[in-house]
Amino acid sequence: MTRKIVLTGDRPTGSLHLGHLVGSLESRVALQFSSDQYVMVADVQALTDYFENPQKVMNNMLEVVADYIAVGIEPELTTIFIQSQIPALAELTAYYMNLTSISRLERNPTVKAEIAQKSFGESIPAGFLCYPISQTADITAFRADLVPVGEDQLPMIELSNEIVRKFNRIYNTDCLKESKAHLSNVKRLVGIDGKAKASKSLNNAIFLNDLPQVIHDKVYSMFTDPDHIRVSDPGKVEGNVVFTYLDAFYKEKDEIASLKKKYAQGGLGDVVLKSLLNDILQKKIKPIREKRETLSKKNLLEICFEGTKKARDIAQTTLQEVKEAMKISFFKE
Ligand code: ATP
Ligand code: MG
C-alpha cells in the first residue's frame, strides 16, 4: 500500500486553541506515523487580512510552531514549513487564478461569513477573496491525498478539486491530483460564548498556552442556559457550551448521558458541570503547556528552516510539471 500524502496548515494569527486540537492537530499527530505529512504555517494567507500588521503575523509564527511540537507533531515525521518562503506556491496561485471565477469565489460560504465578520466594507482585499486559490496551490504542490481540517475548510477543498479537474482537462494532463478532507469527530468546536466556531479572530477560544487560572475563568464564563436560574430548574442541553465541550473532551460517554438527563430534569447546577469540565481541560492542557515550556526559539527556527528547505524542492518539482503541462516551460532549470 502506498503511503498517503497529508498537507494542512494554520494561519499565524494567534496561538492555537482547543478547536484546532480536536479539529485537526490530533489527526495530524496520528497521521504522521503512516503518511508523508506536511504542515504549513500559512503566513501568506494570514497577511490577506492582516497585511497592515505583519508584526502580528511574524510574532505568531513561532507560537504556532511551538503549539505543533507541544501537541506531539514530530519534526522527524512531519515536514513543518513557512508558506511565504516557498515561491512556487505564489506561482501556482497565479496560474490557478484563471481557472475559477470571481462569482465562484464570492459564493464560498466560509469566505462570505469571514467577510461579514471582518467589516471590510466596500474594500475586500482581492488577496482575501482569492485565498482559497492559494490553498489550492498549497494542496496540489504537495500532491496531497488528505487534508486534515475543520468543517469550515470543506468549501476550500471542493474548489481545489474543481481547479484540479479543470487544469487537467484544459492542459490535457493528469499532473494534478484531487484531495479529500480528513474530518475528525469534532468537525467544529463552538466558541466559549456559544458562537458557531471557536476562533483566534473572535477571541472566544481556550488556547493551548492559556494558564490554569485563565482556563478556569473561561470555563466558568461559558454560555449555558440563561433560563436555568435555580439548580432545581430544568436546563437546556442543546446549545449549552459546557455540554458541547464535555462531548468533545470527556471520554466517559455514559456519565455524560446521565448528566444530560439530570440537567434536563432539573436538580443539577452549572457549577458542578463547570467544575468537572475545568478538571478535564486542565488535565488535557497541562502536558501541552509543560512541553511548550521546554522549547527554545532557536530550536523552533531550525525546525522551520529544515522543513522549508525540503518543502521548497517538492513544490518546485510540481511547479515544473505544471509549467510543462501549460507549455510555458521555456528555460528548464
Ligand atoms: P482565524 O480566526 O485567524 O481564521 P482560526 O481559529 O479560524 O483563525 P485557522 O488558522 O483559520 O484558525 O484554522 C486552522 C485549522 O484549524 C483549519 O483546518 C480549521 O478548519 C481548523 N479549525 C479552526 N478552528 C476550529 C474549530 N473551532 N473547530 C474545528 N476546527 C477548527
Ligand atoms: Mg480560520
Determine the residue type at 13: T
For residue 20, how far is its CA from the centre of ligand 1 (angstroms)?
Answer: 6
* Closest to 177 in 3D by CA, of 223, 132, 146: 146
Rg of the chain in Å (alpha carbons): 22
CATH topology agreement for domains 4-189+296-325 and 212-292: no
Using an 8 Å Cβ cutoff, are 206 and 281 in contact?
Answer: yes
- The position carrying cell 473561561 is 218
Q: Phi and psi for 280 in degrees, rounded to 5? A: -65, -45
Closest ligand by atom to 18 CA: 1
Query: Would you give per-residue pLDDT tens digits along the chain (333 residues)?
Result: 789 999 999 999 999 999 999 999 999 999 999 999 999 999 999 999 999 999 999 999 999 999 999 999 999 999 999 999 999 999 999 999 999 999 999 999 999 999 998 988 889 999 999 999 999 999 999 999 999 999 999 999 999 999 999 999 999 999 999 999 999 999 999 999 998 899 988 889 999 999 999 999 999 999 999 988 899 999 999 999 999 999 999 999 999 999 999 999 999 999 999 999 999 999 999 999 999 999 999 999 999 999 999 999 999 999 999 999 999 998 876
For residue 238, how far is its CA from the centre of ligand 1 (angstroms)?
Answer: 23
User: Greatest CA separation found in the chain?
Assistant: 77
Q: Which atom of ligand 1 is nearest to the CA of 187?
A: 29
Give the per-residue pLDDT at 189: 97
Query: How many other C-beta atoms can be found within 10 angstroms of the C-beta atom of residue 293?
Result: 10
Mutational pocket test of ligand 1: of 24, 56, 67, the residue with most ligand atoms within 8 Å of the beta carbon = 24
Determine the residue type at 164: V
Query: How many other C-beta atoms can be found within 10 angstroms of the C-beta atom of residue 280?
Result: 18
Give the per-residue pLDDT at 333: 62
Determine the residue type at 255: E
For residue 329, how far is its CA from the centre of ligand 1 (angstroms)?
Answer: 37
Percentage helix, strand, coil, to 5, in the chain?
55, 10, 35
Q: What does the alpha-carbon distance between residue 134 and residue 13 come to, in Å, rounded to a whole number?
A: 17
Domain edges within the chain: 4-189+296-325, 212-292
Structure-derived torsion over alpha carbons of residues 293, 296, 297, 298, reported in degrees to the nearest 10: -170
For residue 120, how far is its CA from the centre of ligand 2 (angstroms)?
Answer: 16
* Strand boundaries in 97-229, DSSP class E: 146-148, 180-182
Q: What does the alpha-carbon distance between residue 235 and residue 230 come to, in Å, rounded to a whole number?
A: 9
Closest ligand by atom to 21 CA: 1
In sequence order, the 6+-apart residues with CB closer than 8 A to the CB of 116 are: none
Q: What does the alpha-carbon distance between residue 306 and residue 81 come to, in Å, rounded to a whole number?
A: 8
Mutational pocket test of ligand 1: of 152, 182, 186, 244, the residue with most ligand atoms within 8 Å of the beta carbon = 152
Closest ligand by atom to 152 CA: 1
Question: How wide is the angle at C-alpha 90 spanned by C-alphas 89 and 96, nearest 5°?
Answer: 90
Looking at the domain that runs over 212-292, which CATH code has it been given?
1.10.240.10
Q: What does the alpha-carbon distance between residue 256 and residue 135 come to, in Å, rounded to a whole number?
A: 38
Q: What does the alpha-carbon distance between residue 194 and residue 218 come to, in Å, rounded to a whole number?
A: 12
C-alpha cell, 149: 481540517
Give the per-residue pLDDT at 122: 85
Q: Which atom of ligand 1 is nearest to the CA of 13?
A: 3
For residue 332, how far is its CA from the centre of ligand 2 (angstroms)?
Answer: 37
Return the DSSP state at 235: -
Pocket of ligand 1 (CB under 6 A): 10-11, 13, 19-20, 23-24, 149-150, 152-153, 188-189, 197-201
Q: Whose CA is nearest to atom 19 of ligand 1?
A: 150
Query: How many other C-beta atoms can be found within 10 angstroms of the C-beta atom of residue 187?
Result: 16
Count of residues making up the chain? 333
Looking at the domain that runs over 4-189+296-325, which CATH code has it been given?
3.40.50.620
Using an 8 Å Cβ cutoff, are 173 and 325 in contact?
Answer: yes
Q: Which atom of ligand 1 is nearest to the CA of 49?
A: 3
Q: Whose CA is nearest to atom 23 of ligand 1?
A: 20
Mutational pocket test of ligand 1: of 67, 149, 199, 244, the residue with most ligand atoms within 8 Å of the beta carbon = 199
Q: Whose CA is nearest to atom 18 of ligand 1?
A: 149
